Structure 1
Amino acid sequence: MDDNIHAPTVASGPASGPTPRDLSKLSMPDLMQEKERIEAELSALSSVLESHGVRMTSSLTTFDGFPRDDIDIAQVRTTRVRIIHLRNDHKEVMKLLEKGIHAHFANLQNAQGAGPTMNGTSVPAVAQSPTNNTALGTPFAKVNSVVSGSPAEQAGLKAGDAIRSFGHVNWLNHERLSKVAQVVQENEGRAVSVKVCRKDGTDTATELDLQLTPRQNWGGRGLLGCHLVPL
């Protein structure tokens, strides 16, 4: 028989990654590509564990201490080790991205100089918080649909809105929108700040800061009543 009950339904991917690179020497675009690569591999490896019916903390032995015979223990262990390495790499990439963004805006402020003068006195330029800057608020998701009477509609969300931030979640840390779902679950009944960019028929963009309160029993499915798609 060709059937193998131990064969995973998803390929496990490489057991070890390529030769480690000095991430601190990567450019911002390269760091973003590395971030996407790591997240894609983490997603694939999570599927491997799911195909075996285990998680990172699931026991690999039976109640009496014998190795389980319903899973490929060697592959599960190898996959877990790889996931741990990738999670550490992801944290390092995110730190470098944040550091690079802050440095970028610091350079912009220095280039702008002291700003205009008033009665012969130099007026310092007002420093912008990076979290409020358009570049840091790069849209990472779009509202695909909004249900009538839903919390999303009551907050003012409309189909076509581009999401810049959802609570503390932004383009750097949304992890394929999984963090948005986490914020929604953790804030049921509490208002969450959602920053959106909305374009009208003339392509004029309007920046909005909406307050969205996830809740049940509004008459429809889910806590929001809208569908978000990643950009």
Structure 2
Amino acid sequence: MGLPLRMDNIHAPTVPAGPSSRPLANGNAKHLSFAELQAKKDDMEAELKALSGVLDSHGVNMETPLTTADGFPRADIDVAQIRTTRARIIRLKNDYKDLLNTLEKYLHEHFASIQDADDVAPGSANRTEMLGDSIPVTLEEPFAKVNSVVAGSPADSAGLKPGDEIRNFGYVNRGNHDGLKRVAECVQGNEGQRILVKVTRRIESNQKQELQLNLTPRRDWGGRGLLGCHILPL
């Protein structure tokens, strides 16, 4: 009776770890509406959560060794299922990253076209002018409020002010900000790139100003963090 074979590559995914639907993010996705892209994003997040639950049920994570000290498959866990689950998570995360980039590009292009229309309109001023017909009739509800802004910071340069209520921060909105975790994710993933931030600013007790600001996270501004502002959830 021969000895069992060692599985030196046991940690390798059971199927190629490349993206499972890469054309969705880079190709066909551009033909989808924003609502459809957002729905696909929600579906991916739900599946990633479910797959994470599968790993949790086995008492493992993405880094847990699947072999014994002498290199043989562990007998106390379902190695095959764990490898398959890990492979799916890797592919989904690749797709998810691409989809977020697609959403970000969609928003940039959409609001850039709005800004271009404002620039040629009679009486158009700077980026912090009050927006009129270019604002959709239905505005997103604010989900965060700017608490403080450091002078000379990227947030200051973008025009953010204490008291501004944030309705959209790139692809982040009230429905998906997850306790502002998505804001941090958006900032980290767009260092050195412009992020469109839509805010509501109270200029008088009964008047509000709707603004769209361009914020570029960066480290070299002379202070802490990438933004230089502190925001709180509403």
TM-score if structure 2 supplies the norm length? Answer: 0.50
SS of the equivalent of 2:120 reads coil
Q: 1:56-135 counterparts in 2 under 5 A? A: 56-116=62-122, 125-127=125-127
Amino acid at match of 1:92: D
SS of the equivalent of 2:99 reads helix
CA distance in 2 between partners of 1:37 and 1:178 (Å) = 20
CA distance in 1 between partners of 2:184 and 2:118 (Å) = 39
Decide whether the 8 Å contact of 1:165 with 1:196 is kept in 2.
yes
CA distance in 1 between partners of 2:140 and 2:86 (Å) = 33
Decide whether the 8 Å contact of 1:164 with 1:197 is kept in 2.
yes
CA distance in 2 between partners of 1:81 and 1:112 (Å) = 47
Amino acid at match of 1:50: D
User: Residues 114 and 212 (structure 1 numbering): CA distance in 2 closer, same or farther, change over 3 Å?
Assistant: closer
Instruction: Verify: 1:24 aligned to 2:25, yes or no.
Output: no
CA distance in 2 between partners of 1:68 and 1:61 (Å) = 5
Q: 1:1-231 counterparts in 2 under 5 A? A: 21=24, 22-116=28-122, 125-127=125-127, 138-139=140-141, 141=143, 164=167, 170-171=172-173, 176-177=178-179, 179=181
Match of 1:220 in 2: none
User: Residues 49 and 205 (structure 1 numbering): CA distance in 2 closer, same or farther, change over 3 Å?
Assistant: farther
The offset of 1:176, in angstroms, is 3.7
What is the alpha-carbon root mean square deviation over aligned residues? 4.8
The offset of 1:170, in angstroms, is 3.3
Decide whether the 8 Å contact of 1:114 with 1:125 is kept in 2.
no
Amino acid at match of 1:114: V
SS of the equivalent of 1:171 reads coil
User: Residues 47 and 205 (structure 1 numbering): CA distance in 2 closer, same or farther, change over 3 Å?
Assistant: farther
- Indicate the structure whose relative CO is greater, using CA pairs within 8 Å and at least 6 residues apart: 2
- Deviations along 1:83-102, one digit per CA (max 9) or x if unpaired, are 01111111111111111111
The offset of 1:78, in angstroms, is 0.6
CA distance in 2 between partners of 1:141 and 1:172 (Å) = 5
User: Residues 203 and 180 (structure 1 numbering): CA distance in 2 closer, same or farther, change over 3 Å?
Assistant: farther
Match of 2:148 in 1: none
Amino acid at match of 1:126: N
The offset of 1:196, in angstroms, is 8.4
What is the percent sequence identity of the aligned residues? 40
The offset of 1:171, in angstroms, is 2.8
- Deviations along 1:95-129, one digit per CA (max 9) or x if unpaired, are 11111111111211233352335xxxxxx542469
Amino acid at match of 1:179: K
The number of residue pairs the alignment matches comes to: 160
- Could you list the runs of 5+ residues in structure 1 that have no partner in the other structure? 1-15, 118-123, 144-155, 184-194, 214-223
